[in-house]
Amino acid sequence: MSETGPIGVVLGSGLGAFADTLCRSSAMFYADIPGWPLSTAIGHPGRLVSGKVGSADVIVLAGRAHLYEGYTPKQVTFGIYELARRGVRRLILTNAAGGINLAYRPGQLVLISDHINLLGVNPLTGPNDEAVGPRFPDMSDAYSRAFREIAREVGESLGLTLPEGVYAAVPGPSYETPAEIRYLRAIGADLVGMSTVPETIAANYLGMKVLGISCVTNMAAGMNGQKLVHEEVLETGEQVKETLVALLGAVIPRLIS
Ligand code: HPA
């Protein structure tokens, strides 16, 4: 383990390719980790992969649990607690998201600058153990400004322009209606998705610094007259995977220095 502890990475729908690029890696299936809630969504193979990117120790969670699968907020954040147990203090969360901001295009990567929790639940609900984290965690830098700065610089060096955006989390599993998308835009959302926010809350509670990266897999409902289908989300993930792999591979060494 390096001085700073391993860097955690959570890979979203269709974005699992990075897990296969780690050096000196070892993998275990979630099913073999006691207590792990198993994911059912297509595009979520469900493995914990440990390995190296350059000199950085990395632990990748390829596949996550979602509320729409019926898991509780505690269950969907189980992986983040597991990463904390393994020494992770710096975390990269990736997801597939619908683009609400009119300037976005499918296939674009966006740095999450903040979120709006419309899930109606919070993973920290219930009794609190002050030894683990504060009752009322601060969320004013939930997606580390310093990490975003690094990611933007690294992106530039790779020829990528990485805009920032606010991610709104909705429960799903139905996609939004066009009216809901207009509402989300009006309240300041640039991106919409069904994950990440519980993990970000848990990670901040546990004292981690978070970098959030959304892959705009589709324009949100009603924006281009097309129906939304999960296959499109996975296909766009497939198209953008090389770019995401390159970005993660270049960002991670910068997060430990
Ligand atoms: N809405 C919600 N979640 C999503 C979308 C979307 O349009 N695309 C990918 N995840």
Residues 226-256: tens digit of each pLDDT? 888 888 888 888 889 899 999 999 999 999 8
Which tokens sit at 246? 């390159």
Q: Using an 8 Å Cβ cutoff, are 205 and 80 in contact?
A: no
Ligand 1 mutation pick, 181, 183, 185, 217, max ligand atoms within 8 A of CB: 217
Smallest CA separation from ligand 1 atom 9, residue: 97
The Cα angle at residue 243 between residues 2 and 58, in degrees rounded to 5? 15
> What amino acid occupies position 119?
L
Ligand 1 mutation pick, 68, 194, 235, max ligand atoms within 8 A of CB: 194
Share of the chain above pLDDT 90, in %: 76
Count of domains observed in the chain: 1
Query: If you measure from the C-alpha of residue 32 to the centroid of ligand 1, how many angstroms do you get, rounded to a whole number?
Result: 30
| Positions marked catalytic | 13, 44, 66, 68-69, 96, 194-195, 218, 230
List the domain range (segments joined by +) for residue 125. 7-255
At residue 207, the pLDDT reads: 97
Mean pLDDT score of the chain? 92
Asked whether residue 71 is assigned to any structural domain, the reply reads yes
Nearest to 79 by CA among 25, 39, 21: 39
At residue 212, the pLDDT reads: 98
Q: What is the pLDDT averaged over residues 140-163?
A: 97
Asked whether residue 181 is assigned to any structural domain, the reply reads yes
Smallest CA separation from ligand 1 atom 7, residue: 98
Q: Does residue 201 carry a pLDDT above 90?
A: yes
Asked whether residue 2 is assigned to any structural domain, the reply reads no
Query: If you measure from the C-alpha of residue 185 to the centroid of ligand 1, how many angstroms do you get, rounded to a whole number?
Result: 14
Smallest CA separation from ligand 1 atom 3, residue: 193
Q: Does residue 13 carry a pLDDT above 90?
A: no
Backbone angles phi, psi at 250, to 5 degrees: -90, -30
CATH number, domain of 45, equals 3.40.50.1580
Residues 17-37: tens digit of each pLDDT? 899 999 888 999 888 888 887
Smallest CA separation from ligand 1 atom 6, residue: 98
Smallest CA separation from ligand 1 atom 5, residue: 98
Query: Which 3-state string (H, E, C) describes the chain?
Result: CCCCCCEEEEECCCCHHHHHHCEEEEEEEHHHCCCCCCCCCCCCCCEEEEEEECCEEEEEEECCCCHHHCCCHHHHCHHHHHHHHCCCCEEEEEEEEEECCCCCCCCCEEEEEEEEECCCCCCCCCCCCCCCCCCCCCCCCCCCHHHHHHHHHHHHHCCCCCCEEEEEECCCCCCCCHHHHHHHHHCCCCEEECCCHHHHHHHHHCCCEEEEEEEEEEECCCCCCCCCCHHHHHHHHHHHHHHHHHHHHHHHHHHHC
Asked whether residue 1 is assigned to any structural domain, the reply reads no
Asked whether residue 86 is assigned to any structural domain, the reply reads yes
Q: How far apart are CA 102 and CA 108, in angstroms?
A: 12
Pairing of strands 47-53, 7-11: unpaired
Which of ligand 1's atoms lies nearest the C-alpha of 220?
Answer: 7
At residue 2, the pLDDT reads: 43
Asked whether residue 216 is assigned to any structural domain, the reply reads yes
Which of ligand 1's atoms lies nearest the C-alpha of 99?
Answer: 7
Asked whether residue 17 is assigned to any structural domain, the reply reads yes
Asked whether residue 205 is assigned to any structural domain, the reply reads yes
Q: Using an 8 Å Cβ cutoff, are 151 and 163 in contact?
A: no
